[in-house]
Structure 1
Amino acid sequence: MSKKEISIYILKKILLFLASIFLLSVIVFYISRLAPGDPLVSYYGERVEKMSPEEHDWAMEKLGLNESVSVQYVKWLSNAFRGEFGISYKYKMDVLEVISGRVGNTMLLGGIGFVLIFTLALLLGILCAWHEEKWLDKIICQVGTVTSCIPEFWFSLVLILFFAVELHILPSSGAYTIGKEKDTADRIQHLILPVTVVVMGHLWYYAYMIRNKILEEVRADYVLLAKSKGLTKNSILFRHCLRNIIPSYLSIMAISVPHILGGTYIVETVFSYPGLGTLAYESARYKDYNLLMVLCILTGIVVVVCNMIAQTINERIDPRIRQ
C-alpha cells in the first residue's frame, strides 16, 4: 500500500470509530431516559415520595432533567467534549472518580481470565488436534460442549453454594475482606471463584475454534509435502502448523475481548465484585444516567477498537477482505 492509501485507510477507520461511538451515545442516552422509573430516587432516595409537585419540579431542574431529551443530549455532548461528564446521582461524586476506583478490579479479573482462557485454549486445541478423533479428543469435546452451555450466573451460584456456604473455604463476594485491601493472598482468594466462572464460560468456545484452525492446517497440501520429505508429526505441528495459525489466533483474541468483557460484567454482578460490571448494573437499575452513559461509552470504545484490530489482522491475512 502507498502512503496515500494508508492515510485514507486510517482516516476511514477513525471516522468509522467516531461514528460508532456517536451512534452508541445517542441510542444509550435516549433509551435510558425513555425507560420507566424516576431518576430522582437515585439522588434523593426515599425523600422523593414525600416531595410536593413543586419540590419535584425543582429537583428535576437542578439535575437538568426538566428539558426535552434532545436538549439534554446536546448539553451532555458539549460538556463531554470538555471532559465534563457530570456527577453520579447515587454516589454524589464525579463519574470519572467513581469509575477510576473500580476499573482496576475489572481489569484484574478480566485480564487474568483472558490470559488463562487463551493459554488453556491453545493447549487444549493442540491436544485435541494431536489426538484427533481419538478417545481423548472425543471426551474433551463432549465435556467442553457441556461446560460451555452452562449459564454463567447459574454456575456462579453453584460455586458459591458449594465452596462458600457449605465448605466455607472461599469467600462468596467482594474483592477483599474489609481491612485487608492490601493483602495479596486475601485478594487471590476472592478472585478464585469469579475467575473460574469467567474461564469455564469461555474456554471451550475458543479452544474448539483453535482446534479447528490447527486441523485445517494439518490437512493442507504443504503438510503432505512435509510428510513426504520425512518430517515428523511433532515437527510439522509445532514448527509449521502452529506458526501459520498465529495470525488467526491473534484475530480470535481481539474479537473475544468484548465477549469476555460481557461475561466478566455478569460475574461481577453475581459475586458483588466491585468492578465496572457491578457499576453498570447499579447505574441501570437506579437510573444513574451520567454514570451509565460513561460506562456504555467506555465499553463501546473497547468493543469497537477490538473489532477494528481483528478486522485489520484479517485484512493482512487475506487482502481480498479490504475490497
Structure 2
Amino acid sequence: MKEKKETKNKWITKDLVRTYLPILALVFVVALFAALSGGTTLKMTNIKQIMLQSCTYIVAGLGIIFTMSLGNMDMSLDGIVCLGGCLGLLAAESLGSWVVIPVIFLVTILCEMAIGSLNILLGINSVIVSFAVSFFGKGVAGYIIGSRTKSLSLPGSLSFLYNRSLYFAVTIVAIIVLSILFHYTKLGKRAMAIGSNASAAKASGIHVVKYKLLAYLVAGVMMGLAVTLVVLRAGSAGATSGSGFHVTVLLMMVIGGASLTGGTKEKVYSVVVGVLLFLCLENGLTVLGVDPNMIGLIEGIIFLGSVTLTFDRDGVPYIL
C-alpha cells in the first residue's frame, strides 16, 4: 500500500504545479470575475484594455527571462525606462524625431551589458549591480528634466506609432521569436544550463562568460522594445516613468511559474500567463470596487504563495 501511495505522489511534483497551476488559475480568475461582475469583465472594451496593458509587461518579461535563467535578478527596469525614455526624447530635440527609438535601444543595451559585465567580470551580485543602474538611471533622468518641465514630450511626427494593432503585432512577434531563441537555440539552452550549475556548464565546455553576456544583450534589446512601447503609449518620459516597473514584472513572472533561481525550469509561457493572470486579477478586483490597498495585499499574498511553490532551494547558491 505504501508503494502505491508513493507512486501516486510522484505524479504531483513541484514542476507539475509550476507548469499547470498558473494556467488553471488564469481560467479560474477569468470565470470568477465574469460571474461576479455580471459579464462586465468580458466586455470587448475591457478585454482590449487588458491586452493593451499586457504588451509592455510581456515584452519586458521576455528579456528578463534570459537573465533569470542564469540565476540572476534584474532590478533595474524602472531606472532603464527613465533613462532610455528621457535620453531618447532629449536627443530628438536636437537631432530630429528619427533618433528617438535608436537612442532608446542604445541606452537599454548599454545598461544591460553594464549589469552583465560588472556581475560576470567583477563578481558583483546582480541584484546590487542592477539596483545601482536603476538609481543611476533615475538620477540622470531627474537631472535631464531639471526645472524646465515635468517631462519630455514625444514628437508629434511619431504619434502615428501609438496604434493598438501595432502593439499587438509587435508583442506576438516578440513572443514567437523569443520562444524559439530561448527553447530551441544554443543561447537559450546554454543560458539555462549555466543557471542550473555554472561550474558543471563550464566543465562541459560551455563558454560561460560569452553566453552570459549574450543573454544580457538579448535582455537589453527587449528592454529597448519595452521602453519604446512605454514612451509611445504615454507620449512622454520623465523622472518617474516606469516607477515600480521591475517589481511588477517580477511579480507577474513568479505568478506565472517562473523560478527565481533560474535554470531549466524557466519557460517563456510563464511570462505570458503571469502577465495575463496578474492583469485579469487586478482588473477584476477594480471592477468590483475593491479598495486599492486591499488589492495590493491580495497580490502580495499571491506572490508569497507563488514563491513558496516555485522556489528551488537547491539552486540558492547560484543566485548569490
TM tier, smaller:
0.3 to 0.5
Higher relative contact order (CA 8 A, sep 6+): 2
Query: Structure 1 length normalisation: TM-score?
Result: 0.32
State TM-score, norm by structure 2: 0.33
